[in-house]
């Protein structure tokens, strides 16, 4: 059984590693340099149908402007007749939220280091006149060295839009500043600072300062800044959080004040980097123009029916270096936003079992070519909850089922994944022959 080989220009495209409402993110490899990249794929028809041209141009422009060691880097943008490809830095450490779910509250010194890096990245954005407007642990990735990488600038405001007050209500409710909810205009810098304060609280405690399933009640608590600090908070961090989570944006501490705060300054070493002096945005418009000479070639080879064959390179890269234990150890509590398990049952039996279990959980099931999409309503009934499962053959008669969240809350997804695995216990392979998972490669 052959693996589908797909190329876009000089990039060899692998499996989907993330999916949003309007875009997919695929793992890819530069065939010239052999470097791994993340390829964000958007269909031109979708962009036009939903009138997203200006938004996509804005996101690309912002990522070109805000080049910083603690921000995901944009390598280039490509276009074909049907799609737009945004080539991004491939960040291997997962989301910061994954670590919080795994460990709960993090040690104070570790929280401080993440927070220092976050503030450095946000300060850089603000210096460029860019406001993120959707800062949360899900949009903070970790690189191989454990450093923060801010991602997802899809809701950000550009410099020319940041003059005066912003008026678009956007972001994730639990992390949104009170003034954003009031719809009277707000300062993008102050609202980003509020979100950073919520993130710091979550890092230190493992839970949200404002968390209600009922949205009106949640908004009331955010507007009143109704939260409490646990007894283990030291005076310094408690003081800083109260200065940040000030419901009045005019008296709320600013970035400069945070950087002068004694708790923040402990072991603080500002990052050193050399920024590109000139950023050319001319190419941003070009990718949307119908200029045939600029189209990138798309190739699809060796397509055959059955699950795709995943090669060792993809498995190793997508499994946190050489540590493949997460593929086999279902006893651990740690599950990531993208999760996977292994089965030795036939591929068709795997899909039919997943379909049956999903239907028993009152989920809608859509299956096509060993890809399964499960849909339902989120626990707080505030929106859709969706999960996508892909079946891959990783060795003869050994299949890996890759599971990822497509829509809904990430914490809800973690609970769903554990429940799903419990119900699929009869197809999940648990090696008992003494062969260590690391010996596969």
Residue 321's pLDDT is what? Answer: 36
5-90 matches 96-265 in fold:
no
Concatenated DSSP letters for 47-64? HHHTT-HHHHHHHHHHHH
**Which residues, at least 6 apart from 329, have a Cβ–Cβ distance to it below 8 Å?**
437
105 pLDDT higher than 60:
yes
Task: List the one residue out of 96, 306, 66 whose CA is nearest residue 74.
Answer: 66
User: Which one of 3.40.50.720, 3.40.630.10, 3.30.310.80, 3.10.20.30 gives the CATH number of domain 308-428?
Assistant: 3.30.310.80
User: Taking the CB of residue 288, how many other CB atoms lie within 10 A of it?
Assistant: 18
439 pLDDT higher than 80:
no
Selecting among 98, 134, 187, 409, the annotated active-site residue is: 134
| Domain range list for the chain | 5-90, 96-265, 308-428
Q: Assign domain 5-90 to its CATH superfamily.
A: Phosphorylase Kinase; domain 1 (3.30.200.20)
Residue 134 annotated to the active site: yes
Q: Is 404 exposed, middle or buried (0-12, 13-18, 19+ CB in 10 A)?
A: buried
pTM for the model stands at 0.67
Alpha carbon distance 314, 316 (integer Å): 6
Binding site for ATP: residue ranges?
49
Quick one: pLDDT band at residue 101, thresholds 50, 70, 90? confident
Q: What is the pLDDT of residues 314-368, one digit of tens each?
A: 544 444 433 333 333 333 333 344 578 888 888 889 999 999 999 999 899 998 8
Question: What are 7's two structure tokens?
Answer: 């190329």
Q: What is the pLDDT of residues 124-169, one digit of tens each?
A: 999 988 888 889 988 899 988 899 999 887 656 654 444 455 545 5
* Weakest mean pLDDT among 195-199, 303-307, 390-394: 303-307
Share of the chain above pLDDT 70, in %: 76
- The count of C-alpha atoms lying within 13 angstroms of the C-alpha of 2, restricted to the half-sphere facing its C-beta, is 8
Pairing of strands 298-301, 338-343: unpaired
> According to DSSP H, which parts of 208-294 are helical?
215-223, 235-244, 255-260, 262-265, 282-286
Binding site: residue ranges?
49
Residue 130's pLDDT is what? Answer: 87
**Which residues, at least 6 apart from 301, have a Cβ–Cβ distance to it below 8 Å?**
4, 5, 6, 7
Q: For domain 96-265, give the fold.
A: Transferase(Phosphotransferase); domain 1 (1.10.510)
DSSP designation for 31:
T
Region of residue 51 (phi > 0: left; psi between -120 and 50: alpha; otherwise: beta)? left
């Amino acid at each position: 059984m052959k693996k589908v080989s797909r190329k876009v220009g000089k990039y060899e495209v692998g499996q989907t590693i993330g999916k949003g409402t309007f875009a997919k993110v695929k793992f890819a490899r530069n065939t010239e340099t052999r470097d791994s990249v993340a390829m964000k794929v958007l269909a031109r028809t979708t962009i036009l149908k939903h009138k997203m041209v200006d938004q996509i141009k804005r996101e690309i422009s912002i990522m070109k402007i805000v080049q910083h060691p603690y921000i995901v880097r944009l390598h280039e943008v490509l276009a074909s007749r049907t799609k737009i490809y945004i080539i991004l830095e491939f960040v291997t450490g997962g989301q910061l939220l994954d670590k919080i779910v795994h460990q709960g509250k993090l040690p104070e010194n570790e929280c401080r280091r993440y927070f220092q890096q976050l503030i450095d990245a946000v300060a850089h954005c603000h210096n460029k006149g860019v406001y993120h407007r959707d800062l949360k642990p899900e949009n903070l990735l970790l690189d191989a060295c454990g450093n923060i990488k801010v991602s997802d600038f899809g809701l950000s405001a550009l410099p020319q839009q940041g003059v005066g007050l912003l008026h678009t209500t956007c972001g994730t409710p639990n992390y949104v500043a009170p003034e954003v909810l009031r719809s009277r205009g707000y300062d993008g810098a102050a609202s980003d600072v509020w979100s950073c304060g919520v993130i710091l609280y979550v890092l230190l405690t493992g839970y949200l300062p404002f968390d209600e399933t009922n949205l009106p009640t949640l908004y009331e608590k955010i507007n009143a800044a109704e939260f409490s600090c646990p007894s283990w908070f030291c005076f310094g961090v408690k003081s800083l959080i109260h200065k940040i989570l000030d419901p009045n944006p005019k008296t709320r501490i600013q970035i400069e004040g945070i950087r002068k705060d004694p708790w923040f300054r402990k072991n603080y070493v500002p990052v050193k980097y050399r920024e590109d002096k000139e950023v050319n945005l001319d190419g941003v418009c070009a990718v949307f123009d119908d200029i045939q000479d600029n189209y990138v070639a798309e190739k699809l080879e060796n397509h055959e029916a059955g699950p795709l064959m995943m090669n060792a390179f993809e498995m190793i890269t997508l499994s946190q270096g050489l540590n493949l234990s997460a593929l086999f150890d279902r006893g651990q509590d740690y599950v990531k936003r993208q999760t996977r398990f292994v089965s030795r049952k036939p591929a068709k039996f795997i899909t039919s079992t997943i379909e049956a279990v999903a239907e028993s959980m009152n989920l809608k099931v859509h299956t096509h070519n060993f890809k399964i999409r499960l849909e339902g309503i989120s626990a707080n009934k505030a929106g859709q909850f969706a999960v996508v499962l892909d079946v891959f053959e990783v060795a003869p008669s050994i299949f890996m089922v890759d599971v990822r969240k497509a829509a809904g809350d990430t914490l809800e997804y973690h609970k769903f994944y554990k429940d799903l695995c419990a119900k699929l216990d009869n197809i999940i392979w648990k090696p008992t022959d003494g062969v260590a998972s690391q010996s596969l490669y």
